[in-house]
Chains A and B, each alone.
Chain A
Amino acid sequence: MADLRDLYQEVILEHSKAPRNYRELKPADHQAQGYNPLCGDRFTIYLQMDADRIRDISFQGSGCAISKASASMMTQSLKGKTRTEAHELFNNFHEVVTGQGGGRDQAELGKLAVFSGVCEFPLRVKCATLAWHTLEAALEGKQEAVSTE
Chain B
Amino acid sequence: MSTVVRLPEDAAARPFSPPFNVQKIRADFPILEEMARGHHLVYLDNAATSQKPRAVIDAIVGYYEHGNANIHRGVHYLSEKATQDFESARQAVQRFLRAKQASEIIFVRSATEAINLVAQTYGRVHLGEGDEVVISAMEHHSNIVPWQLLCEQKRARLVIAPINDAGELILHEFEHLLGARTRIVAVGHVSNALGTINPLPEIIAMAHKKHIPVLVDGAQAAPHLSIDVQALDADFYAISGHKMYGPTGIGVLYGKIALLDEMPPYQGGGDMISSVTFEKTVYNKVPHKFEAGTPDMSGAVGLHAAIDYLDGIGMDNIARYEHELLAYASEELSAISGVRLIGTARQKASVLSFIIEGIHPHDVGTILDQEGIAVRTGHHCAQPVMERFGIDATARASFALYNTREEIDALVGGIQKVKEVFA
Contact = CB atoms under 8 A, between A and B. Distances in A.
B378 A64 contact: no
A39 interface: yes
A83 interface: no
A62 B392 CA distance: 8
* Interface of B, helix, strand, loop or mixed by DSSP: mixed
A interface, by DSSP: helix, strand, loop or mixed? Answer: mixed
A138 to B, nearest CB: 22
Contacts of B362: 39, 41, 63-64, 66, 124, 127
Contacts of A4: 366-367, 370, 421
Nearest to A13: B422
B366 A39 contact: no
A124 B377 CA distance: 13
Nearest to B422: A13
Contact of B379 (A2, A40, A121): A40
Interface in B370-400: 370, 377-379, 383, 386, 392-393
A1 interface: yes
Given A40-B379, A40-B392, A1 B366 contact: no
Contacts of B38: 1
A22 interface: no
A124 to B, nearest CB: 6
B419 interface: no
B393 to A, nearest CB: 5
Of A42, A65, A127, most buried by chain B (CB within 10 Å of CB) is A65
Nearest to A61: B392
B363 A64 contact: yes
A51 interface: no
Given A1-B37, A62-B392, A65-B422, A121 B366 contact: yes
A39 B422 contact: no
Given A1-B38, A4-B421, A39-B361, A124 B366 contact: yes
Q: Which of A1, A13, A38, A39 has the most CB of B within 10 A?
A: A39
Contact of A65 (B360, B377, B383, B386): B360
Contacts of A62: 392
Nearest to B423: A13
A21 B26 CA distance: 51
B379 to A, nearest CB: 6
Interface string A18-58: 00000000000000000000111110000000000000000
Contacts of B421: 4, 8, 13
A129 to B, nearest CB: 14
Contacts of A123: 366
A96 interface: no
Interface residues of A, number: 22
B421 to A, nearest CB: 5
A39 B393 CA distance: 7
B360 A63 contact: yes
A123 B237 CA distance: 36
A65 B392 CA distance: 14
Contact of B363 (A38, A40, A66): A66
Contacts of A2: 370
A7 interface: yes
B378 A40 contact: yes
Contacts of B386: 40
Nearest to A121: B366
B362 to A, nearest CB: 4
B369 to A, nearest CB: 8
B378 A38 contact: yes
Nearest to B358: A17
Contacts of B363: 8, 64-66
A38 B360 CA distance: 13
Contact of B366 (A7, A17, A38, A42): A7
Interface string B13-38: 00000000000000000000000011
A127 B366 CA distance: 12
Nearest to B383: A40
A17 B358 CA distance: 8
A96 to B, nearest CB: 19
A124 B362 CA distance: 9
Closest 10 CB pairs of A and B: A40-B392, A64-B360, A64-B362, A39-B362, A40-B393, A65-B363, A64-B363, A39-B378, A8-B421, A4-B370
19 contacts: A4-B366, A4-B367, A7-B366, A13-B421, A13-B422, A38-B378, A39-B360, A39-B361, A39-B378, A39-B392, A40-B379, A40-B392, A41-B362, A62-B392, A66-B363, A68-B360, A121-B366, A124-B366, A127-B362
Interface of B: 37-38, 358-363, 366-367, 370, 377-379, 383, 386, 392-393, 421-422
Interface of A: 1-2, 4, 7-8, 13, 17, 38-42, 62-66, 68, 121, 123-124, 127
Given A1-B37, A40-B386, A40-B392, 11 more contacts: A4-B366, A4-B421, A39-B378, A39-B392, A40-B379, A40-B383, A41-B362, A41-B392, A64-B363, A123-B366, A124-B366
